[in-house]
Structure 1
Amino acid sequence: MSDWLSQIQWNEQGLIPVIAQDVNTNQVLMLAWMNQLSLSMTIDKGEAIYWSRSRHRLWHKGEESGHFQKVKEIRLDCDGDTLLIIVEQVGGVACHTGRAHCFYKKWQNQSWVEVDAVIKTPASIYHKGFE
C-alpha cells in the first residue's frame, strides 16, 4: 500500500466517509464513501468517484445525471478517518432528488421538514427511471 494510503484509517469494509463541499458556496453537498481504488481514481481523473454501498460498485458521480463533481481540493481530517473534498458541482445539483445538496430536511417543530426546493425533477435527470 502506498504511504499516503496507509495514513488513512479505513473502516472494517475498507471504506472512508467523504464529505463533498461546494467550492463556491461552501455548502456541504453530500456524504459518500470511498475505497482505495475510488480515491486513487478520483485523484487521477480529477472528478469524484465514490464506492456505492447499495450497488456494491464504483460510482462516478454524474455518470447518469451529468452532474459531475470536479475536485478542487482533498483534505484528510486530524484522525485520518474522514475525507473532505472541495468540488465544483456541475449543473448545480448534487442530490439524486434534484436538489442542490442532500441536506434539505431540517428538524423543525418535532419533525423533519423539507426546506430546499427541487431544482430538476429526478425524472428529467435519470433517463433510466428514478432509483
Structure 2
Amino acid sequence: MDTAVPLGIIINEIFSNSLKYAFPDRKSGEIRIRLVREKERGLERNNWSKRKNQGFKGNASFILTVSDNGVGIPETFDLEKSESLGLKLIRVLADQLDENVRLNRNNGTEYIIKFAAGPA
C-alpha cells in the first residue's frame, strides 16, 4: 500500500496530462502504461513459479513507463522547476518513494519511473 497508492496517483496525473495536452488537434492518440519487473539474480522476468517455490524476500525493482504519442513536451520545459500542481505532485510522491523519474521527449512524452517494492 505504501508504494501502490502513490504510484496510482502518479499514473493518474501523467495520464490526465496526456489527455489534456498531448493531442490538442487530434481526436485520437495512444497512451501506454507498462510495468515490468527488472531481471533479478539469475532469475528470468516473470518466472513466478520459481519465485513461489523459493519464497520472495527483499526488495524487487520495477520500471513503470507511461507514454503517449502526442505533441510532446518542449525541450525548454524543466520538470523540476514546473509550477504545475500535477507535476509538483508527481515530483513530491516520487521523492517520497525514492523513485528515479526520467522524462523522454522523443515521439511524444514518456515518463520512466524506477522504484523498489519490498515484501508486503
TM-score (norm 2): 0.25
Greater fraction helix: 2
TM-score (norm 1): 0.24
Greater fraction strand: 1
Larger Rg: 2
Higher-RCO chain (CA-CA 8 Å, sequence separation at least 6): 2
